[in-house]
Structure formats: C-alpha cells, structure tokens
Structure 1
Amino acid sequence: MNELLEQIAACVEFGKINKPSSYPPNMKGQDGADELAKQALEEGVTPGDILKFGLMVGMEKVGLKFRENKVFVPQVLMSAKAMSGAMEHLKPFFTSGEAERKGIFVIGTVEGDLHDIGKNLVAMMVEGNGYEVIDLGVDVKAEKFIETAEMYPGCVIGISALLTTTMSNMKSIVAKIKVHNPDFKVCIGGAPVTQDFSDKIGADSYKADPQGVVEFLNSIAC
C-alpha cells in the first residue's frame, strides 16, 4: 500500500497524468495518477489515505519547489492535471460524505481584475492539499464573496489581484466582508500585494505563493 501511495505522490509531483501521457519523458508508458488512484481504491485503500498520503504529499512537494523557483507554472499545471485525474476517482466519496475534506476555500479575483492564472494556481494547490475549493472566477464583487461565504460556514475567503489599480477594490471588499461578519477569515495575495498592505486593510493573512496559502489554511484547520 505504501509503495502505491508513493507512486501516486510521484505522479503528482512530476505531472504524470495517465498512462497515455508522454510527460514526463522518463515516465512514458507508466501508469499515471489516474490509473494508480483507481487501483488503490480497488485494493482497499481509503479515499482519505489516497488524498493525504498520495495527492497531498505530491502537491506539497510541487508547492515547495515552486516557492524556491525550482519549477515553474507549466510544471505546476501538469501536476495539477495529474492531481485532478486522480481526484475524479475520489470525488464521489467526498460528495457522499463517506470521506471528508479538511475545509472549504472560497476564492476569486477581485472586482475589476480579469487575471486568473495566479488564482487558478492557488485553487489547484489548495484542492490538492485536501480542501474543497469554490472558485468564483474573476471580477468578483464583495457581495458575491459574502453570499458564498454565508453558504459555506467556516470557510476561508481568498482574494487575488494582479494589478495595482485593483488593489483599492481589494481594500473595499475586505472592509465590506469584515463589516458583514468580522469572523470571516480573508486571505489575500497577488503580484502587487504586500504584508504591509494586508495589515492596513485588515486581511487575516497575506501569502506570496500558493504553498503559503495552504500553510495558512492548515494552521486554521489544525
């Protein structure tokens, strides 16, 4: 069992989606995360263990490499695709309640900003680390964040911005969220965002990379 979970983790780490996939070259012709997750379930490994000791291990390694500039966006996207391929086999168990997620993360790009690459990377990394992700897309208003957070009690709200011109919208959105419910946790990020800015607008957390967001969520979930 341990060897199978290690293989799943490796497939996620290096972006091996399934057997037909030719990437990475050194794993060509081998089973990928898709086939191995299915095999693990057939052999009696629980969905929770596949997630915790397979997918999450692989995604954490990718996240740390990305933080250290040892891999770049294309590699992270391939890892996310491998993770998604395996998750297709696990989702029915989470949907039915047979297996549990660690928490819920609501994420969107701030109102006025249509960029989504950074948001998508965070969403994929968070999902691969055991959380249910509610992706609201781009150009998201405060009201949408609040409405969605009300639907998922205990969730954490993630707000992304790529442009300095939309940071002011981030400030007003965080203020509206906190006025509505001071207990809502808000994590912000994006290229122009800094810890100083986060402190000034009253966000609960600022993280410079996807792995940092995962670490923040884990600190709350524990």
Structure 2
Amino acid sequence: MSNLTQLARALVDLDEELVSSLVKQKIEAGEPPLNIIKECNEGMGQIGKLFETNEYYLSELIMSGEILKGVMSELEPLLANVEKDSSSAGVVVIGTVKDDIHDIGKNIVVTLLKGTGFEVVDLGVDVPAETFVKTMRETGAKVLGLSALLNFTFPAMKEVVDQLAAAGLRDKVKVMIGGAPCNEEVRQFAGADFLAKDAATGVSFCKQIYGQN
C-alpha cells in the first residue's frame, strides 16, 4: 500500500475523520472532483483485495461504503456541474450485478451521466441477470452498464451478457463494465464491449454510442 495517496490510504484505514478532512482540503484547493474520486477508487480497490484475502470482512466493506457516501455528498454538487446538456442524450441502464452490494462507483457514473444529459435507469445493487434483460427490452436503451467490486461476481457479469444473447438483444446493446478489479481480461471473459476504467471514460463511451462525440 506504499504507493497509495494519503487519501486512498486513509480510506483503506477506515479513518473517516481524516478522509473527510482531506476531501474538504482538496475541494478548497480547487482539486477537480474526478481526481478526488480517482484517489478514492484506488483505496476501494485495495479494500476489495483485503476482503478477498480475508483480511477485511463485511463490516469493513460496509464501513468503507459509508465513508464514501460522505465523500460523495461533498462532491455531488461539484460533479453535477462538470458538464451540462439541456437535451436528452439517450437512455443508459446501469446496476451492480447479483451478489455485489457496492454502489459508490455506479453512483458516480450515474451522477455524471445525468449531468451530461442522459436519462439513466438505475437498477441499484445485487441485480439478477433477468432484471437487466427485462429492463433493456422495456427501455430500448443502447447501453447497459454493469458494476462490480468483488472478483467472485465476474461470472454474474457474463451471465447478463449470455442472457442478453439468449433473448435476442445482444446485437442491439453495448455492454460496459466497471469497478476497481475489472480489467481487459474480465471484459473478454464477460463478453462485454467496453471497460470503463473510470467514470469519465464510461460517460465518453455512452456519448460515443449515442453519437454525442
């Protein structure tokens, strides 16, 4: 963890007071909100690894989530002003896959998408594949975002893509995945179209699909 920033390390240490103080300092110094989120994402990635090696348990995951909610309450007013668009840019369906209850990263993407003019259908967390497929059929959305923080939920991502294919929807939908442990190998395993390494690239992908770029 020696390469982590002070903010990321404070998050890993579950030091709520220090995290809050550092975030406020960064905001006052004019630090872009997406940079602050990037540091938090680094911390969450480390927390995910600690959970998978049984060094952290569910209570630590829940605590880290609560700390991040506090961070987001500070950043959301700033994120809402990152980019505005008066017209609807398109519909995006998004959710955290089954057996994963993490929503901080997903919520960041949702906030940015809404700020950019997209209509977002947020299905929440622990979402079954059937619900994703049903919602894609009902909304006619061109983009589906799948979020996960835990490695063992990668098969749930693949199941969503497989069920889209079985429903005859796969060629009509672009699937985007994201979350701290997601990488190109995971994208290929899941059969997704795009890996969103951060919230901003996820928004860029959605704009590209809807011809906004």
Asked whether the two chains share a fold, i.e. TM above 0.5, the reply is yes
TM bin, normalised by shorter chain, reads 0.5 to 0.7
Structure 1 residue 68: deviation in Å?
6.2
User: Structure 1 unaligned runs (5+)?
Assistant: 1-22, 28-60
Structure 1 residue 205: deviation in Å?
0.7
Q: After TM superposition, which residue ranges in structure 1, 4 or more long, deviate above 4 angstroms?
A: 23-27, 66-77, 82-85
CA gap 1:77/1:216 in 2 versus in 1, 3 angstroms: farther
Rounded Cα–Cα distance in structure 1 between residues aligned with 2:33 and 2:208: 19
Aligned to 2:128: 141
- 1:116 correspondence with 2:112: no
Report 1:70-219 matches (<5 A). Answer: 77-82=73-78, 100-180=87-167, 181-182=169-170, 183-219=172-208
Give the root-mean-square deviation of aligned CA atoms: 3.3
Q: How many residues align?
A: 157
Structure 1 residue 81: deviation in Å?
3.1
Structure 1 residue 198: deviation in Å?
0.6
Report 1:24-103 matches (<5 A). Answer: 62-63=33-34, 65-66=35-36, 69=39, 77-82=73-78, 100-103=87-90
Residue 166 of structure 1 aligns to a residue whose secondary structure is: helix
User: 1:100 corresponds to which letter in structure 2?
Assistant: S
Q: TM-score, normalised by structure 2?
A: 0.62
The structure with more radius of gyration: 1
Question: Which piece of structure 1 moves more, 164-173 or 105-114?
Answer: 164-173
Structure 1 residue 216: deviation in Å?
0.6
> What fraction of aligned residue pairs are identical, expressed as a percent?
34
User: 2:124 corresponds to which letter in structure 1?
Assistant: G
Rounded Cα–Cα distance in structure 2 between residues aligned with 1:111 and 1:159: 10
User: 1:109 corresponds to which letter in structure 2?
Assistant: T
Rounded Cα–Cα distance in structure 1 between residues aligned with 2:27 and 2:37: 21
Residue 201 of structure 2 aligns to a residue whose secondary structure is: helix
Aligned to 2:209: 220
Q: TM-score, normalised by structure 1?
A: 0.60
CA gap 1:100/1:198 in 2 versus in 1, 3 angstroms: same
